[in-house]
Structure 1
Amino acid sequence: MKRWMTAAMIVCAMAAKGQTYEAEVRSNRVGALEVRVAGERLSEPYIELDGGRQIEIAFDMLQPEAGERLAYSVVHCDADGRRSALAPMEYMDGFNGLEVDDEAPSFNTTVAYRHYRLRLPNEQVRLKVSGNYAVEVYAEGHPERVLLRARFGVVEPQVEIRGEATANTDVALNRDVQQVHFTVDTKALTVRFPQRELKVFVEQNGRPDTRVGDLQPTSIGGTRLGYEHDRRLIFEAGNEYRRFECLTFRYAGMGVERIGFVNPYYHVDLRQDGPRRMYVYDEDQDGRCFTACSGCGEAEREADYGVVHFAYASDRLPGGEVYLVGDLVQNRFDERSRMAYNEASGRYEAALLLKQGYYNYGYAFVPDGERRGRMPAGDGSFYEAENEYTILVYYRPAAGRYDRLVGRLTIGGR
């Protein structure tokens, strides 16, 4: 059995060599995927190498099956998210195919599920190098049938990053965009050719579609590299994320219009959204979400599921599609996050089976043939919006075989 599993993993690895690994739910049985630093409710999924912290990957399996066992594999990735050239024994102590054994059944919920939790590194798996990592979870014995993917980063701090995001940009002042400027000091590294040995990325609010890479320094002074006045680092400012909370089905929480039960699910109708032509200040969490419920002692097991209905009033927007945005859909533009236009009601609509909790979400218009989302037509973009920008610096010397993640900085911008 073990020999068969090893062969299957090799075949899967060869088939997946060219793909990009991002957070992804690949089964409609998977719910409430959260990837964070263990012990922190809202955090970016980055830890330091041998720093004593763990990444926690939590999720539910709906419609649990008797005797079902889940396993996981850890994949080391290059800066661009593709599988690196390293063999598992080179980037970790331990084995792939181990069981996800921290699990418990739901309690007193209308929708039955089993809650799973995986923390890395752990007693069986130690991560040996820095860089991007992906975890694939699948039914034991079937690594080719991936149920979900989680992505996180392990940092070995070797560079100093300082930066800011400002509305004073190279194209406008206090308008609808924000620009990121930053410096990287490599004094702890021997970097002879920074244009080739360093890979630098910037992304907004953890959204892969906003990620900008292949950045080159605009100035070099000793060990200090400047990334300033680069128009690729001008981002649409947008507006604050919208929010709703559903902690119980007994009454409507913030952002909820009504709640009803249609067997077998509770249905949660959110208040209808539409274009916002003014900046709306709100203390959002930049697209994040987390599980919570009213009057329960252990939300991970006691929070229930309901079908949440989203509605965005708008004329049909030609030349593209409208998608939901946020951690509730892993910031992916796919069939799960795509909204359908209802001609009768004159609005875009979507329905997701979600676990009770606090949610940030937004809307993005993606033009046909493109991968980057933007504010839907009529929805304003405002320099006052508070966004997060994550700067990642990778290092690979001339003879290196993988991209070391040597620096990370997250800054706020408005």
Structure 2
Amino acid sequence: MRSFIFMFITMVFCSAFAEAQELSDLVNDPDYVKTVTFNKPPENMVPVYKLGETINISFDDIIGDEADYFYQIEHYDYDWKPSALFKNEFLRGVDDRRILNYRNSFTTLQSYSHYELTIPNQFTTALTVSGNYMIHFYNDDRELIFSRKFMLLDDKSLVGVAIRRARDLKFVSVKQRVEFFVDSEQINFINPKENLKVAIIQNSDLNTAIYNIQPQFNLGNKQLYDYDGPTSFWAGNEYLNFENRDFRSPNVNIDYVRRNELYESFLFIDASRLYQEYTYFPDINGNFLVTTTTNEDNDIQAEYLKVHFKLDSLAVLPENSSVFVTGNYNGHQYQDENLMTFNPQTNLYEVTMLLKQGFYNYRYTVIDENGIELPGLISGNKWQTENEYTVLAYYREPGGRYDQLIGYGSGNSANISN
């Protein structure tokens, strides 16, 4: 009997451990989950909220069969490794509940179900500590479907940010560096090289964030970060964009529209800007906005269209490299659905994606055979490019078991200086 009980406990423990291991990873969206959106403004969709603020996340399932989705919330350290906190230490109430708020599309050619999750809700009444979080969505077969990161801020420090040109003459025309400080009247930083951590984010792309940067100098409690290379980003170029609020006729950057089973938008052919001079063109830094001209409720009345992208690279790209259409419309993920293929008949890279009506920023990103991004190989890197930078400051108190998010600062390279 004891042996049986021991085996049962072991099986339960191993099952829970396997689930915890699985949930510790960010899972990309499947091809039937679209338009995952936090309630953040389209100009800056970095999902940082103050403690106590309402968090809303929505998405569409284009299968449209009213599938059941459940959610779990996990807490992480600043570098996105699972924290040592138990769930009852950061969450009041319970998670692992079915999303009850969903509606089906109305008057659209592409049917879909639109889901919305709001925190706090009747089950998850509060998230009680600051730091990094990930929300995991899974189906009623307990299969993990996709995940999203977000952060909660307990504002206890001042983070000042300035954007400069690179000091290194090799990169002065192609990179931008982030210079910043962290100061606090509420916290006396003890051993800041070990306990004070920062993350630097360019635009809304969490995948390219810079971590593991220690303070370079300090003036009393004020920690200064005046690096060159370690806090520098490739400048890139302004994002390309298109708009199909009215999908029945050509609009911004759309050559023509046709209707088959769904409406299809054919964009003008894009060409490499690698060797072109910089040209200012307003963008929203890789983000997107679902919008239409006539609908009353875009969540369920906006149409999904097949959008055709075509790229003339103007040069032979590295052997075994891949080209993706990237942007925050899918969380800057590299997936089969946004992978371009070379068409030898047209000598163009092409891909067709299903996207909801709206205004979209996008760019072309080249990944080499080892999975490493080759920055600016299509767009070029121009020091004048307008980028939004976010700096997050985390602090772990001596003897503490998790990283608090204590500060948030931002800067824009529109005001770049030497």
TM-score in same-fold range (> 0.5):
yes
**Post-superposition offset of 1:205:** 1.2
Hey, what does 2:94 align to over in structure 1?
Answer: 95
Hey, what does 1:336 align to over in structure 2?
Answer: 337
The answer to whether the 8 Å contact 2:36/2:330 transfers is no
Hey, what does 2:8 align to over in structure 1?
Answer: none
**Post-superposition offset of 1:90:** 1.1
Hey, what does 1:393 align to over in structure 2?
Answer: 393
- 2:34 is the alignment partner of 1:36: no
- Partner SS state of residue 101, structure 1: coil
Hey, what does 2:132 align to over in structure 1?
Answer: 132
Measure the CA separation in 2 of the matches of 1:371 and 1:209.
12
The answer to whether the 8 Å contact 2:190/2:398 transfers is no
- Partner SS state of residue 238, structure 1: coil
- State the one-letter code of the partner of 1:309: H
The answer to whether the 8 Å contact 2:42/2:284 transfers is no
The answer to whether the 8 Å contact 2:72/2:136 transfers is yes
Match of 2:50 among 36, 42, 48: 48
Match of 1:14 among 11, 20, 35: 20
Hey, what does 1:362 align to over in structure 2?
Answer: 363
Measure the CA separation in 1 of the matches of 2:79 and 2:25.
7
Hey, what does 1:149 align to over in structure 2?
Answer: 147
**Post-superposition offset of 1:69:** 2.0
**Post-superposition offset of 1:244:** 0.4
The answer to whether the 8 Å contact 1:74/1:136 transfers is yes
Q: In terms of Rg, which structure is larger?
A: 2
State percent identity of aligned pairs. 27
Instruction: Compare 291-300 and 161-170 and name the one that shifted more.
Output: 161-170
Residues 1:45 and 1:61: Cα distance change in structure 2 (over 3 Å): same
Measure the CA separation in 2 of the matches of 1:135 and 1:340.
33
Measure the CA separation in 2 of the matches of 1:152 and 1:395.
17
- 2:232 is the alignment partner of 1:227: no
Residues 1:282 and 1:130: Cα distance change in structure 2 (over 3 Å): same
Hey, what does 1:353 align to over in structure 2?
Answer: 354
**Post-superposition offset of 1:333:** 2.3
**Post-superposition offset of 1:337:** 2.7
Residues 1:318 and 1:271: Cα distance change in structure 2 (over 3 Å): same
Measure the CA separation in 1 of the matches of 2:362 and 2:151.
24
Hey, what does 1:275 align to over in structure 2?
Answer: 272
The answer to whether the 8 Å contact 1:164/1:181 transfers is yes
Measure the CA separation in 1 of the matches of 2:105 and 2:394.
41
Measure the CA separation in 2 of the matches of 1:21 and 1:131.
16
Mapping 1:92-241, distance limit 5 Å: 92-125=91-124, 126-140=126-140, 142-143=141-142, 145-167=143-165, 169-171=167-169, 175-241=173-239
CA RMSD of aligned residues (A): 2.1
* 1:359-404 deviation line (CA, Å, top 9, x unaligned): 0011112233244451125x43211110011111111133121111
**Post-superposition offset of 1:181:** 0.5
Instruction: Compare 163-172 and 310-319 and name the one that shifted more.
Output: 163-172
* 1:331-374 deviation line (CA, Å, top 9, x unaligned): 12232332222222222222211111110011112233244451
- State the one-letter code of the partner of 1:257: D
- State the one-letter code of the partner of 1:47: Y
Match of 1:248 among 246, 249, 262: 246
The answer to whether the 8 Å contact 1:279/1:382 transfers is yes
The answer to whether the 8 Å contact 1:209/1:372 transfers is no
Measure the CA separation in 2 of the matches of 1:220 and 1:269.
54
Measure the CA separation in 1 of the matches of 2:201 and 2:221.
24
**Post-superposition offset of 1:172:** 5.9
**Post-superposition offset of 1:49:** 1.1
Residues 1:243 and 1:9: Cα distance change in structure 2 (over 3 Å): farther
**TM, length-normalised to structure 2:** 0.89
The answer to whether the 8 Å contact 1:164/1:411 transfers is yes
- Partner SS state of residue 336, structure 1: helix
Unaligned runs of 5+ in 1: 1-5
**Post-superposition offset of 1:152:** 0.9
- Partner SS state of residue 134, structure 2: strand
The answer to whether the 8 Å contact 1:170/1:229 transfers is no
Residues 1:355 and 1:103: Cα distance change in structure 2 (over 3 Å): same
**Post-superposition offset of 1:8:** 10
The answer to whether the 8 Å contact 2:37/2:57 transfers is yes
Hey, what does 2:311 align to over in structure 1?
Answer: 312
The answer to whether the 8 Å contact 1:177/1:383 transfers is yes
Measure the CA separation in 2 of the matches of 1:291 and 1:12.
37
Measure the CA separation in 1 of the matches of 2:171 and 2:324.
29
* 1:25-65 deviation line (CA, Å, top 9, x unaligned): 1x22211111234xx45543111113xx2121111111222
The answer to whether the 8 Å contact 1:210/1:372 transfers is no
